[in-house]
Amino acid sequence: MTILLGKNDRIAWYMGEAGKSSPTIEGFADIRASLLKNKDQVKKSSGRDIVIIVKPTDGAKYKNFVDIMDEINITKTNINAPAVDDDPTHLLDSERDFMKSKGIL
């Protein structure tokens, strides 16, 4: 699960490879349910624990990063430590284009 932290306290997330599945946009009030649902789906379908990549963007606030790390901890989706890629130049074109089209980058 890749989690992109955007501006205005918005989150875009997707499962699998970038560009192969349509990202979902949520606020922090909804992300907990998505983390739990995706954690369960991955476990049931593969028998493995979910892997989470967090990518804060320039539009995100530090509070957004702290909040998502809290949600990952609360939902116990951090069995494997989440990968954090805080270099905005590592955003993939498909991620950047989607976020711009939705006004959260």
The structural domain count of the chain equals 1
pLDDT of residue 8: 96
Q: Residue-wise pLDDT tens for the chain (105 aa)?
A: 999 999 999 999 999 998 898 899 999 999 999 999 999 999 999 999 999 999 999 999 999 999 999 999 999 987 777 899 999 889 999 999 999 999 999
Q: How far apart are CA 33 and CA 18, in angstroms?
A: 21
Give the pTM.
0.93
Structural contact between residues 28 and 70, judged by C-beta atoms closer than 8 angstroms: no
pLDDT of residue 103: 95
Which residue range(s) make up the domain with 84?
Answer: 2-101
